[in-house]
A and B are shown apart, each in its own frame.
Chain A
Amino acid sequence: MENHKRQMLHVATAIHEQLAHFRSTPPDVTLPHSDWSYCVDILRRMRLAQERGWQHAAKRQQQCLAEQLTFFKDRLASLADTLAKPPRVPILASVAEIYRDIGSLSLEFDEVNWDLRDKTLSVHTEPITLGDVYLGPFEIQVDIRKMSDHGCYRIIAHDPRPAASNSSVTHPHVQDEQLCEGEGKSPIRRALREGRIADFLLIVANLLSTYNSSSPFVALDDWDGTRCADCGTLTTEDDRCGCDRCGGDICLDCSRSCGDCGSYFCADCLSECSDCRDAYCTQCLKRCRECNEPFCKHCLENQLCGNCRQQQEDDEDEYDEAMEETPATDDAEQTSAVLALQPNGLGEAVVSARLRRHGSGWFWHLRRRRFADGQRRATGQTGLHAGHRGLRGRVGGRLL
C-alpha cells in the first residue's frame, strides 16, 4: 500500500475509534440533588412560618413547595425515561467509508492535509468573497481527538482580511476561529456523530460561502470600519468610542464630553445649557423651576436660571415701589377686610402670590396653598383686587 493511502487509513481509523469510543460512553446520570435540597429548604421555611403563626407566609411556602415537588417529580420521571430507553445510536460510518470519504475530499477541496502526530485533518477552501468583500481562503481544521465535542474544528484564515472593527472576526460568521453555525448546526452535529467527515466539511465550506445579513459578528457593510453614528465616517476600533448613554459608535472627532460628569456622548445624547451654551448630558442638566429650560448646575441658583432670578428681583422691586405709591382705595379696604377675617392668626401662612389680570380686575394667585393647619387648599385666587395694572410680585401675608 502506498504511504499516502496508509496514512489516510490511519486517519480514518483514528476518526472511527474516537467516534466509537464516544458512542460507547454510558450516559452521564446526575441525580437532582439541588432540586431536592430546595424542597427541604422550602419545607423548613414553611414550618418556621407555621410555628410563628404567620399564616400568609406559611400558605405561600406550602404553595411553593407543591410547585417545586411537581418540578422535582418531572425531573425524576425524565431521568428514569432516559435510563429506561435504549439510547438512539446513530449510524456510524465504517473505517472503509471514512477512508473513502477522506479520499473524495480532494475532489471538493483545493488542498487536503492531515497530521498523524497531532491527529488533525484539514481542508482548504477556495478564496471566499462575500458581496464585494474579499475574505481569502480558509482552512477547516478538525481535531480528531475532540470529534465528540462541539469545538472540534477551527476555521483558520489563510489570507486574513479581518473586519476593521474587530481583528478576531475573519469572516462575518467566524470569531476567534470558531464558526457560528446557525442553521448548519444540526446537520453538522449529525454528520460528525455519524462519521460522515466529507459531508461535515462540505457543510462547513458551504456555510463559509454564505452570508446571513441578519446575524453576523460584523456586517459586510461595516467590514472596512464601523460608521460613526454622527458623521457617518468609517472608523476602526482605535478611532472610535461608544456613547455612554445610547452605546452608539462615534468617531473621536464627533465624541464630546459632558462638561459636568466628563462622560463621552454622541451629539444626540448631549444638550446645551440654555445660558452658557456648553454641552452637558441630559442627566447633568437641570430645569429651571420657573421657565423649565435646561441649565447646567453652574447657571442655576436655587433651581432658578439667571433670567428668572433677575425677573424675580425686578418683580419684587416693582411691587415694593408700587405699594409705596398706591393710595388707600376701596381695594385696600377690601384687603384689610379679608385679612381681618381671622385676627387671632388661625390658619396663617406665608404665601407667595402673583397678581394676574382677570377681566377688569387684578387678582392675587396663590402659589403656595399649604396653610398652618397642614392642609392644602385648592383655592386658585384670593379675590383680592389690587387695581394696579401690570403689577406682579411676591407678598407675604395672611390669606385664607
Chain B
Amino acid sequence: MKILLINNDGGGYADYVDVAAGTTVTSLFREQIKSARASDFLIRVNRQPVAADQVLQEGDRVSITPLKIEGA
C-alpha cells in the first residue's frame, strides 16, 4: 500500500512510498530513519499525534520532524 512520507530530517523530502500491510508507525520509523531514537522526533499521522504501535493505512500522511535542529 502507498503512504505519503514526509521526512524533515536532513535535506527533507516528501514522497509516496510503498509499505507492507500491517506496518506500524514504529516499524516505519526504524525502516526510514536508521540509527535514531523515535523520541528525538515528532511523528504525526494525518497531522495528528499517534501511538507508536498504530498500524498505517493506505493513503496515510506520515510526517517525521526532528526535535533538535541546529541553527547557525
Contacts and interface: CB of A to CB of B under 8 A. Distances in A.
Interface in A202-247: 202-203, 206-212, 215-216
B14 A207 contact: no
Given A210-B71, A212-B72, A100 B12 contact: no
A202 B12 contact: no
A199 B72 contact: no
A199 B63 CA distance: 8
A186 interface: yes
Interface in B4-28: 6, 8-14
A206 B12 contact: no
A207 B11 CA distance: 14
Contacts of A187: 8-12, 69
Given A91-B14, A190-B13, A206-B42, A181 B48 contact: no
Nearest to A105: B47
B70 A183 contact: yes
Which of B12, B14, B68 has the most chain A CB within a 10 Å cutoff? B12
B69 A207 contact: yes
Contacts of B6: 196, 199
Interface residues of B, number: 22
Nearest to B65: A202
B71 A180 contact: yes
B38 to A, nearest CB: 15
A172 interface: yes
Given A104-B48, A203-B8, A196 B69 contact: no
B8 A191 contact: yes
B71 A173 contact: yes
A125 B4 CA distance: 27
Contacts of B49: 107
B71 A196 contact: no
Interface in A126-174: 172-173
A211 B67 CA distance: 12
A182 B42 contact: no
B11 A186 contact: yes
Nearest to B16: A91
24 contacts: A100-B47, A101-B47, A104-B44, A172-B71, A173-B71, A179-B71, A180-B72, A181-B71, A182-B69, A182-B71, A182-B72, A183-B71, A184-B70, A187-B12, A190-B14, A191-B12, A196-B6, A203-B69, A206-B66, A206-B69, A207-B69, A210-B70, A210-B71, A216-B71
